[in-house]
Amino acid sequence: MDERLLMMIDDDANDAVLDGEMLNSDEQGTGLVIPDAVLPSTLYLLPAPKRPFFPAQIQPILLDMGVWESTLQRVGNMQDKVMGLIYCGDSDPRELNPADLPLIGCAVRVHQAHQEDGKVQILVQGLKRFRIRRWLSDKPPYMVEVDYPDNIGERDTDEVKAYALAVIKAIKELLAINPLYSEELKQYLSRFSPNEPSLLSDFAAAITTAKGDELQDILETIPLLRRMEKVLQLLNREREVAELQGRISEQVNEKISESQRQFFLREQLKVIQRELGISKDDRTADAEEFLDNLKGKQLPEAAQRRIDDEIDKLEVLESGSPEYAVTRNYLDWATQLPWGVYSEDKLDLAHARKVLEAHHSGLEDVKDRILEFLAVGKFKGSVAGSIVLLVGPPGVGKTSIGRSIADALGREFYRFSLGGMRDEAEIKGHRRTYIGAMPGKLIQALKEVQTANPVIMLDEIDKVGASYQGDPASAMLEVLDPEQNSEFLDHYLDLRFDLSKVLFVCTANQLDSIPGPLLDRMEVIRLAGYLGEEKLAIAKKHLWPRLLKRNGIDRKRLAINAAALRHVIDGYAREAGVRGLEKQLGRLVRKAAVRLLEDDSLSLKITPEQVEAWLGRPIFKRETPQRGVGIVTGLAWTAMGGATLGVECARIHTLNRGFQLSGQLGDVMKESANIAYGYVMSNLEAFGADERFFNESMVHLHVPEGATPKDGPSAGVTMATALLSLALNKAPKAGYAMTGELTLTGQVLPVGGIREKVIAAKRVGIKKLILPEDNRRDYEELPDYVRKGMTVNFAAHYDHVRALLF
């Protein structure tokens, strides 16, 4: 639409307004409605998408310029500027379907038009209802042939007057509840007589918030009485909604007013109490609270001086300033630390042994180390701070032993995990200059336990990471050094705190990933895996009763015999620890719970047959060591405990010389294989084998379970024995397993993990072992129950191994 059309519509509209349009009022009063003779019989149509338009309305309408430009141009060129508005509901106004549109609409006159950003806003005045008789154009610009139905019913009857009075009364009630309606009523009264029941009904319907379909129903209701009845129903419903809205607003305002009243009263009370000297302001109250926190504590002189300075600063700061909040938070941490507060140690060895025995079965060597530690403390009169590192596979009870140490000593216990920690601020805190700064985990632990000599467990110390934010392992050097931790400095507090009385208990699955300087500061206690007998005792004394209690099952209704427990241990939970065993027993308890609920009188005793029925076929089968030429059983250490490791050797062909390895061997293990190959090949004559054997043979050495990566320096003796067996074409003696590293001169070097390897051999029924001579001391330190039934041969040179096996 161009500017010319806009001016044309505006000029003609102004003329119409000057003429008053309160014209042609007959004796019945038609207000602004133009007589039928004046209204055209054909109309251009525009959609009214959300609500229908009523004859009593004057309201702007916003339209899309691109779609309706041609329609508005034609209306602008007309003398009377009259067109039709038709309700289209939820349909897209740009895609009208004549079949979906109602027959009744409202004829309107365009007064003003304003264009902006591709939209046009027109001010229209409702004139009269029309009925569509025929569509002249079903595409934009839409055009229809219409007639104008007259009101059915006399306007001066008593019934109509009664309804009119009821409508006026309902409108007045709305005005009292919601003043927003008053402006629309003033506009109506300025243009119409209140004695026009038809227009009054249309106006009353137009000011409601009813849905479009309900309003269209009123527009289509031609009989006056019926229309006024429907309008009155809408007004009553509108009044109810407005009353509900008013009640909700009153409730909200009451709550706000009450909150404001309480706030003002509290502020007045503070002022009155302060004037009377019976209350203090926030700064004085905070300062006194911090001084109370320090009563009974022995602070170093530097710490006392620093805290006093901070309290003095707090008293001159405004309580609403950011600096006040930072200082108050700092003092809250500094004054709640246990400065000089120590708990009294229980140095009763009998009590300590009782606690350890109650919580753990087996691990006698670990218990003895702990009791030795306590015995030294009894002679000194107190247990000094120490750093203990418990190393062992998962599930062997490292974390629970730390808690038992705290119970035996009567100390507070605090545990946090270092696994995955990458920020050194977790240990030493953030500096106060940072937003949201806070102390490190150690200071947090001391604040929580409120003693300066707790047992602090640092779990998973072998899994500490490093990143651009720092290296937590390096930050731990100060914490775990007895020469330094008496003056531990946290970045947040910036005060020296004595950690020398803290007993640190660290746990790890392996030592390889712990930095050397950190490992040097700790006393290492190794926890090997459990034997079957130990697992059986643990299951009877601890796991099974705990599972029954946790699941709320009476032990009289559910039991398990020793044979079933042993079957679970051997067939489903053969790992070094007991965590997997507890999971399998938990499965049995849950399946039994279902049976017990189905029959209240039933009592169950789980047997080995029931175990297989509920848990399925055993995961582990009894290992039978392979025997034959070139086949030898070795022993290996893993993070999960000890394991047997088979080594196989075969002659592939005699076309050329070569040596091939398989089984996902690591670099160290490949070197061991090459050393064993070189040693055996260089000594074939001394061993009584054909010295040309390897010169004419392609030899393949394989370590089974190729999907499992393997590495370590303890398989040299095993590989050399397999190669020698192949060269001699003679199987080694049955029933032996071995471990040890080999040199090119035949020396058998010591290896680690002797306890785990002995337990692994015992677990699969191997009673004869070959160990390095230098590991004799390690073997003799093993508990008697581990060595019981074992025959061990110690070899310093490979000749001892050869003489024993061949």
User: Active-site residues: which are they?
Assistant: 714, 757
Element housing 160 (H / E): helix 158-177
DSSP 382: S
- State CA 140 to chain mean position distance: 57
Distance CA 802, CA 804 (A): 5
Task: Determine the 3-state secondary structure of 217 from DSSP.
Answer: helix
Distance CA 360, CA 577 (A): 13
Token readout for 556 is 């009289």
The DSSP bridge pattern shows strands 658-662 and 698-702 to be parallel
Task: Determine the 3-state secondary structure of 248 from DSSP.
Answer: helix
Q: Tell me if 458 sits within 8 A of 507, measured CB to CB.
A: yes
Distance CA 233, CA 238 (A): 9
Task: Determine the 3-state secondary structure of 202 from DSSP.
Answer: helix
Helix pair 180-191, 158-177: axis angle to 10 deg:
140
Distance CA 106, CA 133 (A): 14
Helix pair 398-409, 349-359: axis angle to 10 deg:
150
Distance CA 407, CA 353 (A): 11
Tokens 């902006």 belong to which residue? Answer: 116
Q: How many CB atoms lie within 10 A of CB 765?
A: 11
Q: DSSP characters for 722-753?
A: HHHHHHHT-PPPTTEEE--EE-TT-BEEP-S-
Show the 3-state SS of 85-113. EEECCCCCCCCCCHHHCCCEEEEEEEEEE
Distance CA 205, CA 173 (A): 15
Q: Tell me if 528 sits within 8 A of 640, measured CB to CB.
A: no
Give residue 734's identity as a one-letter amino acid code: A
- b or e along 493-520 (b: 16 or more beta carbons within 10 Å of the residue's beta carbon)? bebebbbbbbbbbbbbbeeeebeeebbe
Distance CA 241, CA 622 (A): 80
CA dihedral of residues 691, 697, 698, 701 (deg, nearest 10): -50
Helices (H) and strands (E) in the chain, counts: 29, 24
Task: Determine the 3-state secondary structure of 793 from DSSP.
Answer: strand
Q: Tell me if 73 sits within 8 A of 5, measured CB to CB.
A: yes
Distance CA 334, CA 636 (A): 51
Distance CA 365, CA 784 (A): 11
Give residue 436's identity as a one-letter amino acid code: G
Distance CA 292, CA 265 (A): 29
Q: How many CB atoms lie within 10 A of CB 79?
A: 7
